[in-house]
Amino acid sequence: MTITRQYWAEALGTFLLVFFGVGSAVAGLRGSGVIVVALTFGLVLTVLVYAIGPISGCHVNPAVTLGVLLAGRLPVADAVGYWVAQVVGAVVASFGLWGLTKWGGVADQTGSLGTNGYGAHINAGGAIVLETVLTFLLVLVVLLVTSRSDQSRIAGVAIGLALAVTNFVGIPLDGAGVNPARSLGPALFGGTHGLSQVWVFLIFPLVGGLLAALVAPLVESHLTPLGMPGQRSETGRSAPAAAASDPAAR
């Protein structure tokens, strides 16, 4: 499999995640509510894991790529390529959404093209903590469920549900960034206010991903191949990694 194909998969996957996820907020946040938007993000990620996971691992999130990199499952050069592809996909999707509100007659129900921000319901310090913790959860789930061959069939469901949960909590407070690419794309088209605050949503999801990469091995060391806590296999190790997030394993 060529590296270029993996980059294209990451760009396309991130485009679809942002277009449908942020699009559900732009077109329906006031009408459908937080639950529908959160589930849209989660369901899109779920289907993408099964669709492009065999190609690139379906990171579609720089924080996930950082976690996978620190876990030793991805070379640095490939990680950089993934980050570029993810940002490009998010920016193109955001431009498409902006075009729909500008020329397509779509009313932006978020008022800012779904950009993340703090001030109204949470302050900057709160947003820093929130983005770190929410992204920690998502990346930890990704690293754990994709490191075990016995969980490969449910990996997409677990990862999608993890993203939905982060959005349930995050959307009412700061819009739920949890993904630097998802945050940057809309911020470029959503006005100066969101752009001035986007640094929080670029930096601290990456911090959450870093922390998840540090904690994941500690959790794995206490799991048996069947995932039961408190016991160890004869070798003292968990099942061999067959990670959906590891393109080198394909």
Q: What is the mean pLDDT of residues 16-24?
A: 97
Q: List the domains of the chain with CATH numbers.
A: 3-249 (1.20.1080.10)
pLDDT on residue 32: 86
Q: What is the pLDDT of residues 187-239, one digit of tens each?
A: 999 988 889 999 999 999 999 999 999 999 999 887 655 443 443 333 333 33
8 Å CB contact between 122 and 173: yes
pLDDT on residue 225: 52
Which tokens is 112 given?
A: 């800012």
Q: Is 224 helix (H, G, I), strand (E, B) or coil?
A: coil
CA distance 63 to 93: 19
pLDDT on residue 2: 67
**Residue 60: partners with Cβ closer than 8 Å, 6 or more residues away:** 10, 13, 14, 17, 45, 48, 86, 89, 179, 181
For residue 1, pLDDT over 90 is answered with no
Q: What is the pLDDT of residues 23-33, one digit of tens each?
A: 999 999 888 89
Q: What is the mean pLDDT of the chain?
A: 89
Q: What is the mean pLDDT of residues 160-169?
A: 98
Q: Positive or negative CA dihedral for 3, 136, 171, 187?
A: negative
CA distance 19 to 33: 17
The residue among 55, 45, 42, 15 whose CA lies nearest residue 169 is 42
Which tokens is 205 given?
A: 């999801």
The residue among 186, 184, 145 whose CA lies nearest residue 45 is 145
The residue among 70, 82, 68, 89 whose CA lies nearest residue 13 is 89
- Of 85-89, 169-173, 241-245, give the lowest mean pLDDT range: 241-245
pLDDT on residue 194: 85
Dihedral Cα 33, 37, 135, 246, nearest 10 deg: 170
Q: What is the pLDDT of residues 36-84, one digit of tens each?
A: 999 999 999 999 999 999 999 999 999 999 999 999 999 999 999 999 9
